[in-house]
Amino acid sequence: MTATASGAPAVAHFRFFTLEVLRTRRLGHSFLRVTFGGESLADFRSGGFDQSLSLFLPPSGAEHTVLPSTDEDTWFTAWRGMPDEERPVMRSYTVREQRRDGTGAVEVDIDFVLHGDSSPASRWAGRASAGRRILAIGPAVAENKSVRFQAPADAGAVWMYADETALPAAAGILERLPADTRVRAWFEVPHEDDRLALAAPADADITWIVRGGDDRERTGRVLDALRSAQAQAQAQAQAQAQTQGVESPYVWLAGEAGTVRAVRRHFVQERSVDRRSVRFTGYWRLGASEEQLLAEAYAGKAPSEDPGSEL
Is-contact 126 114, C-beta < 8 A?
A: yes
Domain boundaries, the chain: 14-139, 157-298
Q: How far apart are CA 16 and CA 231, in angstroms?
A: 48
- Predicted model pTM: 0.88
Q: Name every residue whose Cβ is closer than 8 Å to that of residue 39 and which is 6 or more positions away in sequence.
A: 18
Closest by CA to 19, choosing from 81, 65, 76, is 65
User: Residues of 157-183 as b/e, b for ≥16 C-beta within 10 angstroms?
Assistant: ebbbbbbbbbbbbbbbbbeebeeebbb
Span 260-294, pLDDT tens digits? 999 999 999 999 999 999 999 999 988 776 777 76
Q: How far apart are CA 58 and CA 123, in angstroms?
A: 11
- Intrachain domains 14-139 and 157-298 with the same fold: no
Give the mean pLDDT of 233-246: 50
pLDDT-based confidence at 233, cuts 50/70/90? low
CATH of 157-298, picked from 3.30.300.130, 3.40.50.300, 3.40.50.80, 3.30.450.20, is: 3.40.50.80
Q: CA triplet 275, 261, 295: central angle to 5 degrees?
A: 115
Span 47-100, pLDDT tens digits? 999 999 999 999 988 999 999 999 999 999 999 999 999 999 999 999 999 999
Half-sphere exposure of 37 (CA within 13 A, CB side): 13
Closest by CA to 296, choosing from 285, 307, 306, is 285
User: Residues of 31-68 as b/e, b for ≥16 C-beta within 10 angstroms?
Assistant: bbbbbbbbebbeebbbbebbbbbebbbbbeeeeebeee
Direct distance between the N- and C-terminal alpha carbons of the chain, in angstroms, rounded to an integer: 38
CB atoms inside a 10 Å sphere around CB 190: 19
Instruction: Please tell me the class of the 14-139 domain.
Output: mainly beta
pLDDT-based confidence at 300, cuts 50/70/90? low
